[in-house]
Amino acid sequence: MATNIEALVDQAMAVRRRLEERGAAEDAQVVERLVQELTTARPKAERPYYTVAEVAELIGVSGQTVKNWISRGLVKGYRLGGRIVIPRSELDEYRSMAEASKGIEPLPSREEIVDAVREGRRRFLWPMEPQEKDS
């Protein structure tokens, strides 16, 4: 059963085909680009559980990274048959953490740290005992 959005997309694509048949290729392309933009911008339906691959895609990391987080206990995951699923609540928790961490400045590079240490160093001179002059 198609949702309202899917029905509208089908109607828009029918309009695009009719426009092409009438020779209005530019207008047909505009309709097609509009449909593509709307369908890619449409948020996916929220579910109570996500697979490792889905979480990786939503967060923008690899599936192996998500599995590593689960094995380290950073994210809760549950095995269902041959799959690992992650509750939506865990994903929501990660999103809030990610938003909070956006304001944190990244660590300086190794070269910047070495340069800062070198700037702060002073050349050490061994104290010299005054020499007595032979008179």
Q: How do residues 23-37 score in pLDDT, each as one tens digit?
A: 888 888 888 888 887
- Provide the residue ranges of all domains of the chain, joining segments of one domain with +: 4-41, 49-101
Q: What CATH number labels 49-101?
A: 1.10.1660
pLDDT surpassing 90 at residue 85 = yes
| Confidence category of residue 86, pLDDT binned at 50, 70, 90 | very high
Helix (H) or strand (E) holding 75: none
Confidence at 56, pLDDT banded by 50, 70, 90: confident
**Residues whose CB is less than 8 angstroms from the CB of residue 49 and which lie 6 or more positions away in sequence, other chains included:** 78, 80, 85, 86, 87, 88
Question: Which parts of the chain are beta strand (E)?
Answer: 49-51, 78-80, 83-87
Q: Is the pLDDT of residue 93 over 90?
A: no
